[in-house]
A and B are shown apart, each in its own frame.
Chain A
Amino acid sequence: MQDQDYILCECELQLLEAFVVTLETTVEVQLVKQPALCMTMIQAEDSVEFQPFYLGEALTTECELLVNGTRGIGICLGDEPVRAYCIAFIDAYSQLSDVPMQPVADFLSQQAAIIEHNAKIENDLILRTKVDFKLMEQD
């Protein structure tokens, strides 16, 4: 679930939308809650004593629907109605037992690879700024 949500939140929106459109025609979708904005309070804790505190809120979009009668919930940060809908759709779809799951698995693994690759490239650019300062008396 965490991996699935991670991929769906981080993948390219256009690809996600296009993929969900291909699945939508094969099932019956009933919208329970239109994608709507709300807030999530972000909890944090200090790194030494682990005292909890609230850092601030984050804009969130949530959506709820039924796919063949199975409930799906989509939640994501930002004003992202399409993404929230798609997450809810795949959440419900992946709980069904009488639909082909391979396309979902394939999509998730492809997107996971792209997300990881992009993150590694960014990481590589960041690591170029790694520094080892020498003290003045050192060579």
Chain B
Amino acid sequence: MGYVAVKGGTDAIHNSQQLVEFYRLKDATTPLDIKQIRTQLRMAVDKVMGEGGVYAPEYAAIALKQAEGEVFEAAFILRAFRATLQRKYYSEAINTREMFVRRKISASFREIPGGQILGPTRDYTQRILDTTKAFEDQEAIKKFLTDFKVPVNSDKLAEITTFAKVIDLLKNEGLLKPIDPDEDRTLKDITREAIKFPAPRSARLQMLARAETGGLMALGYASMRGFGSVHPTVGELRYGAVKVKVKDATGRSRYIGKIEVTEAETISAGKSAKKKSAPYYNIGYGLCFGQNDTKVICMGILDTAMRTPDVNSPANDQEFVLYHTEGIESMGFVNHLKLPHYVTFQSELKNIRGAVERSAEKPTEQAIQSPQLQSV
């Protein structure tokens, strides 16, 4: 069923937009400061950036405010904003091995290079509602910061180091799946060229990186539950800041800032095609803007799944995964159902009414066989 073009309604639409603002502001509460959103709603900002496909914390915070906290809408706004600006630079490949690590864990090895660092996480907490947050004030914040930083001994600060990756341990042992020389390794940009299936891995990873977290989680979870065959162990998950460098107009390599990313390598046992060939591990890869453990783990699962196509498993089907986890397109399509479909619906309604009338004119076979049902 298709929607139809309509005209008019400008005043109502304008008033509707004003009404949105009215409900946002009607209690005349203190306006949310963008810096507050950026810092105190950090995870939401990260999600908006990840799903909007744009690293811009301040603008993501503005979009969140504008969208009243609706992450889909905020990501949509940010992605639309992105389209208004010219792309002037392509960065050198970011190096996650040189990450300023804020979090680094492995579920595969207890002892990893540099040790396991929990970093900022709600893992291992009991998710008990902290009602004291309702009374948090500047005084409480100041006290927390003072108390938290007090034990830091400025004279005995450790040097900042980078850490070898866990996955290199397995790689060095030769336990990883050999690189498939036939795999398409071309670098595609799905923002410039519509995706075609089968898509090269570069396009898949790019789409996964800006996919919607819930969608990735649904399919990743489905794969682990049996609607697929990938149930990995997290080889390493790290979150932190990486440097971004570009070449300027004179060809010089320039540092332009750092971005926060989360990265995961997931490890799954591979199935050898030949009976007597050596077993190996498949590595799934996940990387996204900001801190988002769930997203990168599910990216890893789906990266592995899509490298072994299987139309019987949704998670292994590239088109199924990539089209349906694209949050903004999915949201757009679902919401188009609200647009006027009057003409096509009326046409369908006419057909249905006609069919009902025709069927009422002659008693059905069922009605003849079960007269008692008609009296119910």
> A137 near B: Cβ within 8 Å?
no
Q: How far is the CA of A73 from the CA of B253 in the complex (A)?
A: 12
Q: How far is the CA of A45 from the CA of B246 in the complex (A)?
A: 16
B58 touches A78 (CB 8 A): yes
Shortest CB-to-CB span from A69 to chain B, Å, is 15
B285 touches A39 (CB 8 A): no
Q: Which chain B residues lie closer than 8 Å to A135 at the CB level?
A: 110
A79 touches B53 (CB 8 A): no
> B68 near A: Cβ within 8 Å?
no
Q: Is the interface of B mostly helix, strand, loop or mixed?
A: mixed
* CB-based nearest A residue for B60: A59
> B213 near A: Cβ within 8 Å?
no
Shortest CB-to-CB span from B117 to chain A, Å, is 5
Q: Which chain A residues lie closer than 8 Å to B244 at the CB level?
A: 40, 42, 58, 77
Shortest CB-to-CB span from A83 to chain B, Å, is 9
B158 touches A120 (CB 8 A): yes
Given A5-B256, A47-B96, answer yes or no on A40-B91 (Cβ-Cβ < 8 Å). yes
Shortest CB-to-CB span from A29 to chain B, Å, is 18
Q: Which of the four size classes fits the interface of chain B?
A: 35 or more
Task: List CB contacts (< 8 Å) of A60-78 with chain B.
Answer: 60, 62, 64, 71, 73, 75-78
B257 touches A130 (CB 8 A): no
Residue-wise, chain A 35-47 has the 8 Å CB interface mask toward B (1 for contact) of 0011111111111
Shortest CB-to-CB span from B116 to chain A, Å, is 5
Q: How far is the CA of A106 from the CA of B46 in the complex (A)?
A: 36
Task: List CB contacts (< 8 Å) of B69-122 with chain A.
Answer: 82, 85-94, 96-97, 100-103, 110, 115-121
Shortest CB-to-CB span from A30 to chain B, Å, is 16
A43 touches B248 (CB 8 A): no
Q: Which of A56, A60, A62, A129 has the most CB of B within 10 A?
A: A56
A79 touches B59 (CB 8 A): yes
Q: Which of A1, A6, A43, A55 has the most CB of B within 10 A?
A: A55
> B249 near A: Cβ within 8 Å?
yes
Segment among B198-206, B224-232, B271-279, B334-342 that sits at the interface with chain A: B198-206
Task: List CB contacts (< 8 Å) of A118-132 with chain B.
Answer: 119-121, 123-127, 129-132
Number of interface residues of A (CB under 8 A): 54
A78 touches B257 (CB 8 A): yes
> B148 near A: Cβ within 8 Å?
yes
* CB-based nearest A residue for B176: A48
Shortest CB-to-CB span from B253 to chain A, Å, is 7
Residue-wise, chain A 9-52 has the 8 Å CB interface mask toward B (1 for contact) of 11000000000000000000000000001111111111111011
A2 touches B256 (CB 8 A): no
Given A38-B89, A54-B189, A75-B246, answer yes or no on A47-B285 (Cβ-Cβ < 8 Å). yes
Residue-wise, chain B 222-259 has the 8 Å CB interface mask toward A (1 for contact) of 00000000000000000000011110111011111111
B265 touches A48 (CB 8 A): yes
Which of these, A38, A76, A120, contacts B86 with CB under 8 Å? A38
Q: Which chain B residues lie closer than 8 Å to A42 at the CB level?
A: 55, 91, 94, 244, 259
B55 touches A38 (CB 8 A): no
> B287 near A: Cβ within 8 Å?
yes
* CB-based nearest B residue for A75: B256
B96 touches A73 (CB 8 A): no
Which of these, A48, A53, A130, contacts B117 with CB under 8 Å? A130
Q: Which chain B residues lie closer than 8 Å to A77 at the CB level?
A: 55, 244, 256-259
* CB-based nearest B residue for A8: B255
B152 touches A121 (CB 8 A): yes
A133 touches B116 (CB 8 A): yes
B101 touches A126 (CB 8 A): yes
Given A39-B85, A119-B160, answer yes or no on A59-B259 (Cβ-Cβ < 8 Å). no
Given A75-B256, A76-B257, answer yes or no on A47-B88 (Cβ-Cβ < 8 Å). no
B90 touches A41 (CB 8 A): yes
Q: How far is the CA of A41 from the CA of B120 in the complex (A)?
A: 28
* CB-based nearest A residue for B170: A48
Given known contacts A5-B254, A125-B152, what 9 new A-B pairs fall within 8 Å (CB)?
A39-B54, A42-B94, A44-B93, A56-B49, A57-B82, A71-B250, A123-B100, A129-B103, A130-B116
Binding site for A on B (CB under 8 A): 49-50, 53-59, 82, 85-94, 96-97, 100-103, 110, 115-121, 148-149, 152, 154, 157-160, 165, 167, 171, 176, 179, 185, 187, 189-191, 201-203, 205-206, 209-210, 243-246, 248-250, 252-259, 261, 263, 265, 283, 285, 287-289
